[in-house]
Structure 1
Amino acid sequence: MSAEKIINDWKKKLYKPVYWLEGEEDYYIDKVMDYAEHQILPESEAGFNLSVFYGKDAAWSDVVNACMRYPMFAEKQVVLLKEAQQMRDIEKLENYIENPLASTIFVVSYKEKTLDKRKTLYKTIKKDGEIFTSEKIKDYNLTKWITDYVQSQSFSMSAKAVQLLADHIGSDLSRIVNEIEKITVNLGQRKSITEDDIERYVGVSKEYNAFELQNAVAKKDLAKAIRIIQYFEANPKAAPIQLILPSLYGFFSKLYVYFGMADKSENGIKGLFYNNPYAAKEAITSAKLYSYTGVEQALLLLHEYNLKSVGINDNGTSDASLLKELVVKMMN
């Protein structure tokens, strides 16, 4: 069951006695918990029938006692246990979960980890409750997620703006949503988000970023690549080397796969680039510039310089100097 399905059920007054929200992606867990805290009960009932506990500070017995109370002047009460992964003796909740009170909606957020499916606690929750596992979004799905989210808010976003945001923030969905909200508040009547908006409101340059460096390397434009790296040197937070190297590795890995494909047409390879025909066309050009041997050498260099970036076989060379050495060797 998805976070949206849980919330939609709640909107229809369809409740299970226990909801266990677990996993590495905080965004969906927080979204469900926020709805449970602020929307399930009307304000007139929440004062008497909403209890919120935090795992670090709460005793399991206090949580169970709250769950065992009957609602006052209402059909349901809501008990929330946040940050449950920090609670001691959390397995002692099992006796209540095995026989929950029908008038209590007990919602638990258990972040950063998941229950062992072999344990009795997992099986007990699964029997009559709901377990929602919130997984980290895969890098290859991030741009689509951003595009879909923006559209769900009745806005549009240019492909380059999406890529800028994804490269700058990564897969932190909560932060992405916060940045998009900050941008849309400043758009006035406009409904489209551009790369200029990303630069102005998020603080990432539309000309000097990891995406533009990748494009420069892909086209063997050494002068542009060096200019971008010099910008990174003057602005260390703009694109740390730990962000740049995986981006380049991902690109050259796709080119490596390209050489082994039977159908090397734009249509045949666009699946490698998330069905982006423009990216597929650019990749074909890059493959011709580098050749199979050049792509293979680029991957070996990326591995070598990744080790150097963490101090292996290197005596403290700056990140900018490492990147300059890397791109020169890759292009030659």
Structure 2
Amino acid sequence: MTPKQLQQHIANRTFLPVYLIFGKEEYFVERYVKSLTAAALEGADEEFNYDVLYGSEVKGDTVAAAANSFPVMADRRVVLVKEAWKLHGDPHLAGYLKNPSPDTVLILAEEEITKDKRKSGGKKKFNFYQHLSGLSEQPVVEFGEMREQSLISWIQDEFKERGKTISLEACARFLALKGSSAREIAAEVEKIAVARNDAEEIEVEDILNLLGASKKYNIFELSSKILQRDTKSAIEIAARLLQTENAIGMIAFMSRQFMILWRIKYYRVQGRITDADARAVGLGWRFQFEELAKHARNFSPQYFDRCFEHLLAADAELKSRPTAEFTVVSRLIYQLTAPDDAV
């Protein structure tokens, strides 16, 4: 089952008797578990129809007993089991999953079911998946780590729910400034929507202003000045950024930019650049590819060989011993902006 199909279950109030919801993205696991629980309990008294259990604290017979209880003046009851993987080897839960109660929505929630967790019980202990196959619809929903394109689409949807639009470029800047943590992104979307309550569209300038990035002194301008080989401006921006930013994070961003630039240099575009071309080199959208492609032709293969060495050396120096961050970053900028034959 996909997350979108689960959302349809929630919207249509059509529920399966069991759901297994897990994945690396804890925020989405929590969010969908909460939405599913609220929808299934709509109009019911939670005190009598809702149980939260932990796989590390109870046995399968306790879960089965709670799930087999009848709803009290309600259409159904909900039993939520967190840390569910700890019950993989329990025969009582295995028995319940073969014949679940139609009056209960049992939600088995877990951050991530790894291979080690699946194997932890040995051959004789059951696996959730094999006992869920008899249901009319596969109830397993996984929230894996989201790629940039998916995150951008999700950010756009989040703003759309709040009656706003956001440009692709603004989304890309948003991600570069806040990272890929879904929980942090959701919190920032809410803050921006409130701050720009009267605006219909969120622009790049809104992102820079509201996320604390100066229009002139930000990581994008630093990257741009390095690619233009404007050493003086790049060092000026870096000095300002280091007042609030982490040098290792700045170097990580630069490393990613140069890796993508290297891919673009050797990527052969068939006709007009498309979003598919952008995804092939690690970007999300065509405009990002076009922006970096303008610089790629200015760098030789030898330049890339040496620049990656400098980036790795700077990162290792900062992580291995106490060093003045500005000294390391400014030296790196001199190295990255030097002519090809001097790099």
Q: TM-score by structure 1 length?
A: 0.85
Question: 1:275-305 CA distances to partner (integer Å, 9 max, x unpaired)?
Answer: 323x334323322332222223222222222
- Match of 1:91? 89
- Match of 1:121? 128
Q: What is the correspondence of 1:158-177 to structure 2 with a 5 Å cutoff?
A: 158-177=167-186
**Contact kept in structure 2, 1:19 and 1:130, CA below 8 Å:** yes
Deviation for aligned residue 1:111: 0.7
Q: What is the correspondence of 1:110-189 to structure 2 with a 5 Å cutoff?
A: 110-114=110-114, 116=118, 120-128=127-135, 130-139=139-148, 141-189=150-198
- Match of 2:8? 8
CA distance in 1, matches of 2:216, 2:133: 50
Indicate the SS of the match to 2:132: helix
**Contact kept in structure 1, 2:70 and 2:103, CA below 8 Å:** yes
Deviation for aligned residue 1:59: 4.9
- Match of 1:291? 300
Q: What is the correspondence of 1:13-28 to structure 2 with a 5 Å cutoff?
A: 13-28=13-28
- Match of 1:202? 211
Which of 274, 284, 302 does residue 274 from structure 1 map onto? 284
Q: 1:190 to 1:61 in 2, by over 3 A?
A: same
Q: 1:183 to 1:229 in 2, by over 3 A?
A: same
CA distance in 2, matches of 1:258, 1:201: 31
CA distance in 2, matches of 1:262, 1:12: 46
Deviation for aligned residue 1:102: 1.8
Q: 1:138 to 1:288 in 2, by over 3 A?
A: same
- Match of 2:248? 242
Q: 1:308 aligned to 2:308?
A: no
- Letter paired with 2:110: Y
Q: 1:75 aligned to 2:81?
A: no
Indicate the SS of the match to 1:116: helix
CA distance in 1, matches of 2:238, 2:68: 61
**Contact kept in structure 2, 1:116 and 1:122, CA below 8 Å:** no
Deviation for aligned residue 1:6: 1.1
- Match of 1:218? 227
- Letter paired with 2:170: A
Deviation for aligned residue 1:83: 4.1
Provide the identity percentage.
Answer: 21
CA distance in 1, matches of 2:160, 2:202: 11
- Match of 2:53? 53
Q: 1:296 to 1:143 in 2, by over 3 A?
A: farther
Which of 223, 234, 237 does residue 228 from structure 1 map onto? 237
Deviation for aligned residue 1:32: 1.4
**Contact kept in structure 2, 1:22 and 1:112, CA below 8 Å:** yes
- Letter paired with 1:257: R
Question: 1:106-160 CA distances to partner (integer Å, 9 max, x unpaired)?
Answer: 0121014346388533211344251111101124543343234323443122444
Deviation for aligned residue 1:171: 1.1
Which of 328, 331, 341 does residue 325 from structure 1 map onto? 331
Q: Which runs of 5+ in 2 are unaligned?
A: 339-343
**Contact kept in structure 2, 1:3 and 1:28, CA below 8 Å:** no
**Contact kept in structure 1, 2:67 and 2:79, CA below 8 Å:** yes
Worse-matched range after superposition: 213-222 or 175-184 = 213-222
CA distance in 1, matches of 2:7, 2:228: 47
CA distance in 2, matches of 1:159, 1:280: 13
Aligned residues: 323
Q: 1:22 to 1:188 in 2, by over 3 A?
A: closer
- Letter paired with 2:131: T
Deviation for aligned residue 1:265: 7.5
Q: 1:13 to 1:262 in 2, by over 3 A?
A: closer
CA distance in 1, matches of 2:272, 2:252: 24
Indicate the SS of the match to 1:183: helix
Worse-matched range after superposition: 176-185 or 131-140 = 131-140
Q: 1:301 to 1:145 in 2, by over 3 A?
A: farther
- Letter paired with 1:165: F
Q: TM-score by structure 2 length?
A: 0.82
Worse-matched range after superposition: 116-125 or 240-249 = 116-125
Deviation for aligned residue 1:243: 2.6
Q: CA RMSD in A?
A: 2.8
Q: Which runs of 5+ in 1 are unaligned?
A: none
Question: 1:189-235 CA distances to partner (integer Å, 9 max, x unpaired)?
Answer: 21222344334443333433322222221221222211221113222
**Contact kept in structure 2, 1:232 and 1:320, CA below 8 Å:** no
